[in-house]
């Protein structure tokens, strides 16, 4: 036994490091990312060599009671490249401070993750708290152990930095990987997204102008997207990019899509609901009811594109089952009426643009003349005739 203690002296150093680490984490919760990015593993990281003494061996696995095997090998090359490379193993694995390890309770791989993920809050309290408010945490609290936790998206041993140290903004290469991360659990949606106008640009062309999952759903505080309030707010999610000329001009896409939608009966209703009663359930369509959610296609797509009249009619039929073939003409397809697009509407607007000032202007002129005349007469003491 004395021999064991001598051999495993280093883990006790690691415990000391753990205490230091926790104190530092408590004092400065955000120090991790810059520190991780700034410093290569220094001498103090020698602590990890005690753990890596065993855990660097390839093929190290543990059979779990449910028959799954838990791989215990840490690939040092990946870990050194990770955002966590300056951390000691025991800073996260607080429950395993030394060897021999305490009794291991997890019965399955999922239980292992669920046992360990709360350790992330030591440094990532902000993200952890946001995640507590998420649809995933709500599902987990309701007993769905499939619900995503920190480690499902961020492998702590291999996760490279995701944000630019200086700007704090997401790195372009990180954006490219987001859909694959979500696809681990939402693969059917990912398949739809990959085939969509947005997904095919991101996955196929590496175009980071297009939205990834998080642009609409958020990151850690991901909300349930099937609620009435998400639905009412959704046009503003789309319009974040679709009213931005910097992005849209590249592709020749109109930035009037929101104003034209809001000007229409459907959009007016949705906008007013969003402002006055955000939880209102409504059957008035939002962007995704016509354009699709994850499977959005370009409007000129022959099979699904809404510029094809029969496709637009099919979209109308979702809510207006007895709509006739000319019914889609009632929707101005995000156009502002002009001499070439929806000229009847243009002429009506034009008529009132002229007619109202003419009539009202004439009235004002007459009223002013009458008022002035009577005022003069009253001053003069003339009783009007």
Partner 1 sequence: MSKKQSTSVQTPHQYKRFHWAQRLAHALLLVSFTTLGLTGMPQKYATAGWAEAMVKLFGGIELTRLIHHVAAVSLMLLAIYHLLDIGYKIIVRRSRMSILPGLQDLKDGLQAFLYNLGFRTHRPQMARYTFEEKMEYWALVWGTVIMGFTGFIMWNPLTSIRMLPGEIIPAAKAAHGGEALLAVLAIIIWHMYGVHLRRFNKSMWTGKLSEEEMLHEHPLELADIKAGLAERSIDPGLLRKRRSIYYPVAGVLATAMLFGVYGFVNSENTAITTLPPSSSVVPVYVPQTPTPILTLTPETQPPATALTWDGYVGQLFQHKCSTCHGVSNAMNGLSFATYADILKGSYGSLVILPGNSTGSVLVVKQLAGNHPGQLTTDELDQIKSWIDLGAPER
Name which of residues 81 to 110 contact partner 1 (CB under 8 A). 99-101, 103-104, 109
- 246 versus 385: smaller Cβ distance to partner 1: 385
Report the Cα 274 to chain-centroid distance in Å: 19
Q: Is the dihedral of CA 138, 143, 145, 150 positive or negative?
A: positive
Which residue in 95, 370, 378, 382 binds partner 1 (CB under 8 A)? 370
- 19 versus 281: smaller Cβ distance to partner 1: 281
CB of 57 to partner 1, least distance (A): 6
Q: How far is CA 324 from CA 12, 289, 354, in A?
A: 79, 19, 34
Query: In which residue are the tokens 């040092």 written?
Result: 76
Burial class from Cβ neighbours inside 10 Å (0-12, 13-18, 19+) for residue 5 reads: exposed
Among residues 147, 153, 124, the alpha carbon closest in space to that of 135 is found at 147
- 250 versus 373: smaller Cβ distance to partner 1: 373
Site for partner 1 in 27-46 (CB under 8 A): none
- 88 versus 328: smaller Cβ distance to partner 1: 328
Through-space distance between the first and last CA atoms of the chain, rounded to whole angstroms: 125
Which residue in 166, 379, 380, 384 binds partner 1 (CB under 8 A)? 384
In this chain, which stretch among 41-49, 168-176, 214-222, 291-299 interacts with partner 1, using CB under 8 A?
291-299
Helix (H, G, I), strand (E, B) or coil at 257: helix
- 211 versus 328: smaller Cβ distance to partner 1: 328
According to the binding rule CB under 8 A, does residue 2 interact with partner 1?
no
According to the binding rule CB under 8 A, does residue 219 interact with partner 1?
no
**Dihedral Cα 369, 372, 373, 377, nearest 10 deg:** 170
CB of 168 to partner 1, least distance (A): 27
Q: Is the distance from CB of 311 to CB of 304 less than 8 angstroms? A: yes
In this chain, which stretch among 15-23, 153-161, 200-208, 298-306 interacts with partner 1, using CB under 8 A?
153-161
Site for partner 1 in 311-330 (CB under 8 A): 318-324, 326-330
According to the binding rule CB under 8 A, does residue 155 interact with partner 1?
yes
According to the binding rule CB under 8 A, does residue 349 interact with partner 1?
yes
**241-276: b (≥16 Cβ within 10 Å) or e:** bbbeeeebeeeebbbebbebbbebebbebbbebbee
In this chain, which stretch among 27-35, 85-93, 185-193, 194-202 interacts with partner 1, using CB under 8 A?
185-193
According to the binding rule CB under 8 A, does residue 303 interact with partner 1?
no
Which residue in 280, 305, 308, 314 binds partner 1 (CB under 8 A)? 280
Q: Is the distance from CB of 347 to CB of 355 less than 8 angstroms? A: no
Which residue in 42, 143, 275, 339 binds partner 1 (CB under 8 A)? 275
- 251 versus 352: smaller Cβ distance to partner 1: 352
Among residues 98, 148, 78, 144, the alpha carbon closest in space to that of 120 is found at 148
Q: Is the dihedral of CA 77, 153, 88, 34 positive or negative?
A: positive
CB of 43 to partner 1, least distance (A): 22
Q: Is the distance from CB of 56 to CB of 41 less than 8 angstroms? A: no
Partners of residue 159 on adjacent β-strands: none
- 69 versus 118: smaller Cβ distance to partner 1: 69
According to the binding rule CB under 8 A, does residue 233 interact with partner 1?
no
According to the binding rule CB under 8 A, does residue 133 interact with partner 1?
no
């Amino acid at each position: 036994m004395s021999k064991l203690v001598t051999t495993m002296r280093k883990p006790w150093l690691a415990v000391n490091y753990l205490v230091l680490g926790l104190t530092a984490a408590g004092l400065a919760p955000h120090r991790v990312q810059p520190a991780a990015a700034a410093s290569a593993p220094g001498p103090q990281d020698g602590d990890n060599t005690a753990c890596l003494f065993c855990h660097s061996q390839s093929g190290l696995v543990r059979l779990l009671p449910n028959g799954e095997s838990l791989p215990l090998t840490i690939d040092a090359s990946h870990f050194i490249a990770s955002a966590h490379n300056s951390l000691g193993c025991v800073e996260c694995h607080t429950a395993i401070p030394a060897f021999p390890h305490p009794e291991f309770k997890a019965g399955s791989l999922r239980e292992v993750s669920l046992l360990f993920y709360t350790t992330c809050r030591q440094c990532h309290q902000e993200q952890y708290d946001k995640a507590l408010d998420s649809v995933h945490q709500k599902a987990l609290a309701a007993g769905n152990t499939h619900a995503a936790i920190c480690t499902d998206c961020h492998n702590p041993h291999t996760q490279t930095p995701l944000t630019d140290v200086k700007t704090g903004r997401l790195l372009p290469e990180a954006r490219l990987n987001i859909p694959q991360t979500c696809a681990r659990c939402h693969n059917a949606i990912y398949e739809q997204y990959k085939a969509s106008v947005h997904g095919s640009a991101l996955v196929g062309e590496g175009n980071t102008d297009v939205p990834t999952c998080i642009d609409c759903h958020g990151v850690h505080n991901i909300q349930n997207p099937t609620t009435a309030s998400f639905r009412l707010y959704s046009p503003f999610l789309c319009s974040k990019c679709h009213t931005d000329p910097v992005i849209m001009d590249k592709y020749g896409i109109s930035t009037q899509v929101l104003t034209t939608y809001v000007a229409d009966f459907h959009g007016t209703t949705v906008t007013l609901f969003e402002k006055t009663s955000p939880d209102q359930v409504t059957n008035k369509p939002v962007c995704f009811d016509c354009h699709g959610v994850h499977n959005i296609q370009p409007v000129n797509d022959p099979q699904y594109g809404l510029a094809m009249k029969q496709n637009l009619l099919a979209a109308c039929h979702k809510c207006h089952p007895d709509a006739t073939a000319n019914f889609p003409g009632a929707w101005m397809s995000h156009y502002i009426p002009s001499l070439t697009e929806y000229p009847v509407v243009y002429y009506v607007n034009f008529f009132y643009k002229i007619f109202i000032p003419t009539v009202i202007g004439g009235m004002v002129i007459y009223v002013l003349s009458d008022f002035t005349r009577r005022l003069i007469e009253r001053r003069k003491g003339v009783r009007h005739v």
